[in-house]
């Protein structure tokens, strides 16, 4: 495999995929390279459903193998929210800062030991004429009471990784890409995916 197409318009995700795949000699293209392709509506109720909707739509459109990533932050004290609504938690404008503010407000007064949560990522791989296959990854953490660090994207500044004693946004890209939910899902994909998976459509 020399090139992969990742069906994402999120530049933070795109950078992580580029870094991880380029280290393996694989070129990454994302939907940022295809500005004419419109947003795919994420009508599913699970990460898996949404990842499949994105990969199948774009694979059909381009006639090539496509990988999609649906991901988000699940917070126990909020019954799993923002979950699949992570990108648009504070509204359709998809603003990371507004989303973080909303989570911090909702968690006001919740003690540290109850601020558990996890990032989840489901990767879906679609090839024309074949069944879509999926790979999931997760990364456990605690939700901080204020922002720390400036690396990464999305909710990284308020996600505390206990093993590192740092916020995700305080880790450099290599460190994040060793432990993240996305890294875990990519690892599973590498270990289990061959282009013959999902043989019949
Ligand atoms: O659908 P695409 O085009 O890929 O881009 P998106 O931003 O809409 O992506 P999702 O629908 O999968 O929503 C994921 C949201 O979850 C959050 N998220 C996912 N992975 C993250 C990570 O590694 N660090 C911080 N936040 C993350 C972030 O707010 C994302 O916008
Ligand atoms: Mg999305």
Q: Could you tell me the CATH number of the domain that includes residue 84?
A: 3.90.950.10
Take atom 30 of ligand 1 and give the residue whose Cα is closest: 87
Ligand 1 pocket, mutate which of 72, 117, 119 (most atoms under 8 A from CB): 72
Active site residue 70: yes
The Cα–Cα gap between 65 and 67 comes to: 7
Query: Based on the structure, what is the number of domains in the chain?
Result: 1
Element (H, E) at 184: helix 181-192
From the CA of 86, how far away is ligand 1's center (Å)?
7
Q: Which of the four pLDDT bands, split at 50, 70 and 90, describes residue 199?
A: low
Q: Token digits for 102? A: 């909303």
Question: For 26-68, what is each residue's pLDDT tens digit?
Answer: 999 999 999 999 999 999 999 999 999 999 999 999 999 999 9
The Cα–Cα gap between 81 and 87 comes to: 11
Report whether residue 13 contacts ligand 1, using a CB cutoff of 6 Å. Answer: yes
Residue 198 lies in a domain: no
pTM score: 0.96
Residue 117 lies in a domain: yes
Residue 106 lies in a domain: yes
Residue range(s) defining the domain that contains residue 61: 3-192
């Amino acid at each position: 495999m020399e090139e992969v197409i990742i069906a994402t318009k999120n530049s933070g995700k795109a950078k992580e995929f580029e870094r991880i795949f380029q280290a393996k000699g694989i070129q990454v293209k994302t939907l940022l390279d295809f500005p004419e392709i419109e947003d795919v509506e994420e009508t599913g109720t699970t990460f898996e459903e949404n990842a499949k909707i994105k990969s199948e739509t774009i694979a059909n459109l381009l006639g090539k193998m496509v990988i999609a990533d649906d991901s988000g932050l699940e917070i126990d004290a909020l019954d799993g929210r923002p979950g699949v609504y992570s990108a648009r938690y504070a509204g359709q404008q998809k603003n990371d800062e507004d989303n973080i503010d909303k989570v911090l407000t909702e968690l006001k007064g919740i003690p540290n030991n109850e601020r558990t949560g996890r990032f989840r990522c489901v990767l879906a791989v679609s090839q024309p004429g074949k069944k879509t296959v999926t790979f999931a990854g997760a990364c456990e953490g605690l939700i901080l009471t204020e922002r720390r660090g400036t690396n990464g994207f999305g909710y990284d500044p308020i996600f505390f990784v206990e093993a590192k004693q740092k916020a995700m946004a305080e880790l450099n890209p290599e460190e994040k890409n060793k432990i993240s939910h996305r890294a875990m899902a990519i690892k599973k994909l590498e270990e289990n995916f061959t282009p013959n998976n999902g043989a019949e459509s």
